[in-house]
């Protein structure tokens, strides 16, 4: 285990009477790529949203580099400016692309750089150009989202997130809204970031990709972490965990 960058302890979250997260404990080390898998409704997306405080959490602790994300000491909610700075440390890429339709690809990437990182427009444009080039879209910098394919829009979303130089990148089912032929181009970008040491926590149903690209797989079920470990070890021991074995069985016909 690398030095922990993200530390989660006893995390709890409920929506009404429904307990979505039940005492989650999880560490993610610097440079580690952790894939979160599990059936729908197991709390995977809620976990990511609590990490960057898009959802408040009812109990427990979420710390990045030792700093509590959503609260100050004494459980007082951080102000919006402080929250914006904290969220900038946790770049998030969503299922839907969430690009501003009236802004070009470059302007979408630049927005957080100028508003949150306080970069000049010239600095922001240079950074945006660099990252759009890195995701293979340097030639689409002036294109509007409506002029891009779904895969291209998602790559802009990734460029926007990593341009902010986050300490950890949170990926929430980033290929689920894509046509199958576009999935590969997005996963290749993620694979490249992983190879360069980007710390990532990714919720995915691309099980083969999770096996090949992550250093650890976390299996969530019913709001808990039901199993975790290095991909090969987790798969090899799946029969000892009926819930995990049942979940993985549906993917065995598709190269898993």
Tens digit of pLDDT for each residue in 195-241? Answer: 999 999 999 988 888 888 899 999 999 999 999 999 989 988 888 89
Q: Considering its fold, how many domains does the chain have in total?
A: 1
169 assigned to some structural domain: no
41 assigned to some structural domain: yes
- Average pLDDT over the chain, rounded to an integer: 92
Q: How many CB atoms lie within 10 A of CB 167?
A: 15
pTM equals 0.92
How far apart CA 243 and CA 2 sit, in angstroms, is 28
110 assigned to some structural domain: no
How far apart CA 220 and CA 42 sit, in angstroms, is 6
10 assigned to some structural domain: yes
Answer yes or no: are the C-beta atoms of 148 and 92 closer than 8 Å.
Answer: no
In the chain, % of residues over pLDDT 70: 97
CATH number at residue 13: 3.40.50.300
Q: Which domain holds residue 21?
A: 1-79+197-256
104 assigned to some structural domain: no
188 assigned to some structural domain: no
163 assigned to some structural domain: no
How does residue 176 score in pLDDT terms, banded at 50, 70 and 90? confident
Tens digit of pLDDT for each residue in 120-170? Answer: 999 999 999 999 999 999 999 999 999 999 999 999 999 999 999 999 999
Answer yes or no: are the C-beta atoms of 55 and 5 closer than 8 Å.
Answer: no
How does residue 252 score in pLDDT terms, banded at 50, 70 and 90? low
Q: What is the pLDDT of residue 177?
A: 81
What phi and psi values does residue 232 have, to the nearest 5 degrees?
A: -65, -45
Tens digit of pLDDT for each residue in 22-63? Answer: 999 999 999 999 999 999 999 999 999 999 999 999 999 999
208 assigned to some structural domain: yes
């Amino acid at each position: 285990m690398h030095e922990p960058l993200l530390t989660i302890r006893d995390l709890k979250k409920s929506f009404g009477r429904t307990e979505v997260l039940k005492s989650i404990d999880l560490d993610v080390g610097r440079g580690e790529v952790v894939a979160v898998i599990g059936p729908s409704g197991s709390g995977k997306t809620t976990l990511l949203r609590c990490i960057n405080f898009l959802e408040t959490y009812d109990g427990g602790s979420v710390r990045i580099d030792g700093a509590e994300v959503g609260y100050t000491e004494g459980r007082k909610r951080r102000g919006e400016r402080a929250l914006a700075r904290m969220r900038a440390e946790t770049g998030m890429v969503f299922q839907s692309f969430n690009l501003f339709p009236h802004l070009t690809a470059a302007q979408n990437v630049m927005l957080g750089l100028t508003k949150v990182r306080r970069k000049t427009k010239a600095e922001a444009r240079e950074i945006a150009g660099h990252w759009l080039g890195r995701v293979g879209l340097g030639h689409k910098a002036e294109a509007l989202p409506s002029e891009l394919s779904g895969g291209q829009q998602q790559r802009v979303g990734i460029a926007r997130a990593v341009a902010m130089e986050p300490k950890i990148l949170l990926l929430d089912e980033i290929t689920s809204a894509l046509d199958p032929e576009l999935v590969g181009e997005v996963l290749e970008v993620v694979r490249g970031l992983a190879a360069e040491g980007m710390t990532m926590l990714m919720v995915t149903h691309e099980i083969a990709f999770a096996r090949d690209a992550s250093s650890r797989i976390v299996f969530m079920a019913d709001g808990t972490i039901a199993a975790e470990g290095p991909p090969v070890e987790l798969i090899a021991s799946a029969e000892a965990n009926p819930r995990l074995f049942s979940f993985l069985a549906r993917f065995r016909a598709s190269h898993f």
